Amino acid sequence: MRTSNAEKKMELTSLLLYITIFFSALLVLILFSDGDLTLMLVERFGKRLSSVKGQVYWIVGASSGIGEYLAYELVANGAKVVLSGRRENELQKVQAQCLIIGKKAGLSETDILLLPVDVTKLELHQQYFDAVLKHFGTLDVLVNNAGRSQRAEWMNIDIRVDKDLFEGNVFGLLNLSRTVIPHFLAKKKGQIAVTSSVCGKVGAPCSASYNATKHALHGYFETLRAELTCRGILVTMLCPGPVFSDLLSACATDTYGQVQFRTQLAYCVCNLFSFLYV
């Protein structure tokens, strides 16, 4: 049966109508959403937070900021956690708070392990991981969250500063992940999460070495994802924008060994201006 011209016109009009409705809905979503769309969809339709219950998470960089608050969210949902970083006194405060929050989810003291770690001490990585396995017998997720920021102009940066930032922000996390992966491969399951940054996606001014370390993390860990997803290992790259934290309480400059202290407000303003240039 042949379709008449009028019917063809109707079909075309309906198609155009559907396309217009789809893109209008998308536009409304984009205009009124306050975050990354993929993330929002995963939050709405992805795994429930309760799925972390009973899993063992090792947060490296848990003594403040993003890592600290991730720990609270995890224990509130019944996950067991290993809290790591260099500042033991800060870790103790986080551990105490985790216990208060975690008790409501049925956790006890033994479910929250405090393990001081310096990621730049590569020779100690196996020892750190052995301590995790000794305590929990297993590990499900390694959260590579440790990081140090920087404020400096590109052309003034001493090359030793670049190397220094790569030691902690990249090689430390890389080597720790390599230490843990054989365990994940043996149980055909595991997840590596890496806190990169928006600065791992675009080059923002005034922190070239920091930006480069975050870009390097994508190079290493996206390759790992390509190699190991088929063997049950998940690799998740987290790319936050500016977040209030201790990140700039001690950040690198252009001079080797120098640390600059800035207020959080200054940091925010600095970031805002930085992104205007991008």
Ligand X SMILES: NC(=O)c1ccc[n+]([C@@H]2O[C@H](COP(=O)([O-])OP(=O)(O)OC[C@H]3O[C@@H](n4cnc5c(N)ncnc54)[C@H](OP(=O)(O)O)[C@@H]3O)[C@@H](O)[C@H]2O)c1
φ, ψ at 75 (rounded to 5°): -70, -30
Residue 29: CB minimum distance to ligand X, A:
24
Residue 195: CB minimum distance to ligand X, A:
4
User: CB-wise, 55 or 249, nearer to ligand X?
Assistant: 249
Q: Which candidate in 57, 128, 210, 267 is catalytic?
A: 210
User: CB-wise, 56 or 270, nearer to ligand X?
Assistant: 270
The full 3-state SS of 223-260, as one line of letters, equals HHHHHHHHHCEEEEEECCCCCCCCCCCCEECCCCCCEE
The encoded tokens of residue 26 equal 């998308």
Q: How far apart (Å, rounded) are the C-alpha atoms in residues 220 and 163?
A: 17
User: CB-wise, 61 or 190, nearer to ligand X?
Assistant: 61
User: CB-wise, 77 or 120, nearer to ligand X?
Assistant: 120
Q: Is 256 a catalytic residue?
A: no
Residue 215: CB minimum distance to ligand X, A:
12
Residue 83: CB minimum distance to ligand X, A:
9
Q: Classify residue 117 by its DSSP letter.
A: -
Interface residues with ligand X (CB under 6 A)?
60-67, 85-87, 90, 117-120, 145-148, 168, 172, 195, 197, 240, 242-243, 245-247
The encoded tokens of residue 35 equal 């975050």
Could you write out the DSSP letters of every residue in 63-111? SSHHHHHHHHHHHHTT-EEEEE-S-HHHHHHHHHHHHHHHHTTT--GGG
* Catalytic residue annotation: 210
